[in-house]
Structure 1
Amino acid sequence: MSLAQRISRAPEAIAGITILICLMLVALSAPLLFPGDPLAISGTPLLRPFVDATHWLGTDRLGRDVLAGVVHGARTSLLVGLVSAAAAIVLGSVVGTLAGFAGGLLDELLMRVTDAFQTVPGFLMALAFVSTIGPSLMVVVTAIALASWTAPARLVRAEVLSIRERDYVASARAIGMHPLKIAFREILPNALPPVLGLSAIIVAGAILTEAALSFLGLGDPNRVTWGGMIAEGRAVLRSAPFLSIIPGVALVLTVLGVYLAGEGLVEATSRRSRA
C-alpha cells in the first residue's frame, strides 16, 4: 500500500490537509482577492460583519477591512511558520548529524550549546531577540528558528548514533568516502523521517509564537498579522468582539490543520514501517 493510500485512510490527515490547502489557496490568492493595501482605510469604522456588502466581515476601529486583513494575515502566518520551521530543522539536522557522527569533543561541545539554548524558554528567547534587534519579518523568522532548532538536533543525534555503525556506513568508510559525505549523504537521509514527524509541531509553534509577538506589538509593522488584529480588537472587546474573534478563529484553524496533517502523516509512516 502506497503512502498516499495510507494517508487517505487517516481521517485526521484528510481533515488537516484539506484545511491547509484551503488556507494556502486563500493566502496565494490574497493579491487577487484584495489587491490594495490591507492596512489602508476603506470604509466606516466598526462596521459589523454581514452588514455592508463591500466589507463582509466588517471593519476595525480605523475603517480597515477585516476580511482583507484575515486573508493577507494568512500569508504572513504560513510564511513565518513554514520558513522558520524549515530553518530550525536544517540547523538542528546539521548540528545533530555532526554531533552524532563525530562524537568525542565535538559532540560534547555541540550538546552543551544545545543545552544552553534549551535552558531558555523558546518564546522568551524569541521575545528578547526581536526586542533587541527590532521587529521585522526576517528578524521574527530568525528568532523563532533559533528558539526551535534544539529538538530536531537532539532527535537527529539520537538517530545518527543508532545508524552510524550499520554495514552500509562501514562500507562507505572502507571505500574511502569523505566523512562529511558519509554523514550527510548516507546517514542523514535515513535519520530524517522522525524529524519530519516533529515538523508539524514546530510549524504550529512557530505560527503561535509569531501571533504572540505580533500581539505584543513586536511583529512586522508593515504586514498584517492575526496576532496584531487580535491585539487591535482588545480596546473594543465589549462593543466589537468580532475584531478579535475572527482572526482568533483563523489562527486556531491553521494550528489545528497543521497538527492534524502532522498526526496523519506520522500515523501513515508508522503503518508503513510496521508493514
Structure 2
Amino acid sequence: MSTSAFHRPEARIGAALLAALGLLALLAPVLSPGDPLAISGLPLVLPFTEALHPLGTDRLGRDLMAGLIHGARISMTVGLLVALVALTAGMLVGTLAGLIGGWTEAILMRIVEAFQIVPGFLLALAFVSVTGPRLSTVVVAIALGAWTGPARLARARVLVLRESDFVAAARVLGHHPLEIALRQVLPLALPPVLSLTAIIVAGAILTEAALSFLGLGNPNAVTWGAMIAEGRNQLRSAAWLSVLPGLALLLTVVAIYLLGEAVADSLGARDRR
C-alpha cells in the first residue's frame, strides 16, 4: 500500500476506524470472553445504565456489547476471505483470458458474463439456501458474485501488457504461456485490480449482514445483520437493539470506503506518472 495515500485525512480516518475494528475482532475472546449468545442479565436493559452491560441487553438478556464485538469478528473475517477468493479467482481468469486469447478467452469471458447477469445478492441467497448457512458457504456464495469485476479488469490490463517487448521475448525463448502469465504478467496487472479490494470487502460485509438479517447466517454465531433483525420488532420501545449494530455496520463500510478511495487514487496517480 502506498504511503502517500495516508497523507489524505479521509485515509487516516478510515485507517484508524479499521484498526480499531480489527483490534476488536482480534481481541474478541479477551474483551468479551464466553458465549456472546448466553443470557447474562435482565432483558432490555437500557444502554449506559449498568456497568456490567454498558450498551444494554436484548429482549433475552444477552449483552449487546459482546454481540457487537463478536459480530465485528464475523464481518471482518467474511469481508477479507471473500476479497481473497474473489481477487485470486478473478486475477487468474482475467490473466489467462487476456494472455492466451482465442477460444480460451472467448469461453472464459462468456463465463464471466454469465455470472454478471445474475445480481450478486440473489446468487448468494440462492447458494446459501441450497448449501446451508455455514461460514465457508457464505464466503463462497458472496465471492461468486464478486470475482467478475477483478477478472474483467485483469483481462483489460493484460491485453495491454501482452503487447510488451518482455512478453514477446519470453515467447521467443519458448516459455510456457502459463509461466509467462504467472511470473511476468500477473505481478504487473495486480496493482490496478487491488484497487477493487475495498469495494469487494465492503460489499461482502453488507451482503453477509443482509443474509443474516434474512435468517440465512450462521445460527451459532453473532452477526450484526442478525442483531438488526432481532431488534426490528422492538424499534419503538427499544430502538438501540437495531441502531447500535446498524451504526457499527455503517462505520465499517464508511471506513473501508474512505481508505479504499485514497489508496485507489494514489495507485492511479502513480500509474499516470
TM tier, smaller: over 0.9
Query: Is 1:238 aligned to 2:236, yes or no?
Result: yes
Query: Is 1:113 aligned to 2:107, yes or no?
Result: no
Provide Cα deviations, 1:105-160, integer angstroms capped at 9, x if missing partner: 11111111111111100000000000111111111001001111111111101111
CA contact (8 A) 2:211 2:217 kept: yes
TM-score w.r.t. the length of structure 2 is: 0.98
Query: Is 1:3 aligned to 2:9, yes or no?
Result: no
Q: Which of 68, 79, 82 pairs up with 1:81? A: 79
Q: Distance in 2 between matches of 1:55 and 1:44?
A: 10
Q: Distance in 2 between matches of 1:92 and 1:251?
A: 26
Partner of 1:92: 90
Consecutive unaligned residues of structure 1, counting only runs of 5 or more, are none
**1:177-196 alignment to 2 at 5 Å?**
177-196=175-194
Aligned partner of residue 192 in structure 1, secondary structure? helix
- Matched AA of 2:169: S
Provide Cα deviations, 1:16-60, integer angstroms capped at 9, x if missing partner: 111110100111111001111000000000001011110000000
**1:1-275 alignment to 2 at 5 Å?**
3-4=2-3, 6-275=4-273
Structure 1 ranges of 4+ moved more than 6 A: none
Question: How far is the alpha carbon of 1:271 from its aligned partner?
Answer: 2.8
Cα RMSD, aligned residues only: 1.1
Q: Distance in 1 between matches of 2:42 and 2:117?
A: 49
Provide Cα deviations, 1:150-207, integer angstroms capped at 9, x if missing partner: 1111110111111011011111112222211101110011111111111110110000
- Matched AA of 1:3: S
Q: Distance in 2 between matches of 1:26 and 1:53?
A: 19
Aligned partner of residue 88 in structure 1, secondary structure? helix
- Matched AA of 2:196: L
CA contact (8 A) 2:192 2:267 kept: no
